[in-house]
Amino acid sequence: MIRKIIVVLCLSLAINFPVSACTLFAANGEEWVTGGGSLLAKNRDWTPTVQDVKLVRNNTGYSYYGLFAPDVKAGINEKGLVVLSASASSIPKSQRSSLEYFRGLNKYLLSNFATVDEALQDMSIFFGPRFIMLGDKNKVAYVEIGPEGQSVTIKENGILAHTNHYLDDTMLSANVKMPTSSAARYSRINELMSEENRPYDLDKFILFSHDKHAGKSNSIWRDGYSSTGTQTLGVFIVHLPKDGSPTIYVKVRKNPDQQGQEDVYRLSFDDIF
């Protein structure tokens, strides 16, 4: 099932915000995920920086586990809601920096909502150009947040993928520039997530996240052309089975100089929470 919601916002407050280039992808349903449920993944691409993975015990909301740099870039909460984000780099930075931006949106979503449907009830919280991918065991979704509105795409028994440019027909005017890497990564992840390769499991999503088909800068896993340029710094993948406990896979470079020496975790949801 696909639903689209368009909401117009007026954005005016000037504030600077961080930018990162990422690949997001997800699948839901027995035709696409072995045994049913959902799979969601984020490759975090950015210039080398300090990162960590940790559990946040929340006294005023749900606890959550995630990838932090320093705020949460990808996470899952104690109710099984997954939140992933990517930047809208098809809008020039000079334009993005003049728009209102909800810096703590990922934290807010993880702290306050148990399901995709709950998270999408109040669209007024989705402001500041970027892309948010959401998932629970029953469905996956992404929100495209533009300068003047939003588009929501929800899938039950299907697949989703997103990189760093707008996809919905109503949002294409926000693609002021088309990043070469974003277009290449979007094409490649959709090629990998073909009907011929389904159904997927966690191990297949891990393979997809490590794909180097298009070279150092345009692949899903980006080695980068220089030690200070944009590279893949981490992978966060969650398997939400229809029945049973979720599994979380994390590959993270905690310090800038540890390329090729990333920490790798495969964790049980029950062990984390």
Out of 7-16, 193-202, 239-248, least confident range: 7-16
Residue 62 lies inside a defined structural domain of this protein: yes
Per-residue pLDDT, 147: 92
Per-residue pLDDT of 47-95, as tens digits, reads 999 999 999 998 889 999 999 999 999 999 999 999 999 999 999 988 8
Residue 61: which CATH number? Answer: 3.60.60.10
Residue 139 lies inside a defined structural domain of this protein: yes
Per-residue pLDDT of 86-126, as tens digits, reads 999 999 988 887 788 899 999 999 999 999 999 999 999 99
Per-residue pLDDT, 121: 98
Q: How many domains does the chain have?
A: 1
Six-digit token pair at 132?
A: 């948010």
Amino acid identity of residue 57, one-letter, is: R
Residue 1 lies inside a defined structural domain of this protein: no
Question: Does residue 3 carry a pLDDT above 80?
Answer: no
Per-residue pLDDT, 93: 84
pTM comes to 0.92
| Domain that residue 25 falls in | 6-272
- Longest CA–CA span in the chain (Å) reads 47
Phi and psi torsions of 193, nearest 5° = -90, 50
Per-residue pLDDT, 5: 37
pLDDT top residue among 18 and 250:
250
Residue 184 lies inside a defined structural domain of this protein: yes
SS3 191: helix
Residue 131 lies inside a defined structural domain of this protein: yes
